[in-house]
């Protein structure tokens, strides 16, 4: 079964550095350095694919975090209104 590819529109256009690790429940976590973009993933491959897609396919801008890495989206930056977000596929809605 082939997995759906991410849409052409990036969700985190200004993010450059992404961190990947596992949370305390065993989910794979991806988060950008500004805490504006990220998500939970079921496997490392999908998490890495998301991070590379969002940072313009630059593996040098992806950091694997050792130990427990919890998703923290508590940035003080203003949230993007839902109406301005690109349409997401059902698979992406699980990840976001």
pLDDT at residue 11 is higher than 80:
no
Residue 44's domain spans which residues?
12-67
| pLDDT at site 64 | 96
| pLDDT at site 16 | 77
Global pTM reads 0.65
The predicted model gives 15-43 an average pLDDT of: 92
- Number of domains composing the chain: 1
Report the alpha-carbon distance of residue 25 to residue 73 in Å, rounded: 17
28 falls within a domain: yes
pLDDT at residue 20 is higher than 70:
yes
Quote the DSSP letter at residue 60: G
Report the alpha-carbon distance of residue 70 to residue 67 in Å, rounded: 10
48 falls within a domain: yes
29 falls within a domain: yes
82 falls within a domain: no
Quote the DSSP letter at residue 53: H
Quote the DSSP letter at residue 55: T
Report the alpha-carbon distance of residue 61 to residue 63 in Å, rounded: 7
């Amino acid at each position: 079964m082939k997995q759906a590819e991410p849409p052409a529109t990036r969700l985190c256009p200004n993010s450059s550095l992404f961190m990947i690790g596992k949370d305390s429940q065993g989910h794979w976590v991806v988060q950008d350095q500004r805490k504006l973009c990220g998500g939970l993933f079921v496997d490392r491959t999908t998490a890495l694919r998301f991070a590379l897609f969002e940072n313009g396919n630059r593996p040098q801008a992806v950091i694997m975090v050792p130990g427990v890495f919890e998703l923290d989206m508590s940035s003080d930056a203003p949230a993007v209104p839902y109406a301005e977000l690109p349409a997401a596929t059902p698979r992406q809605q699980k990840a976001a």
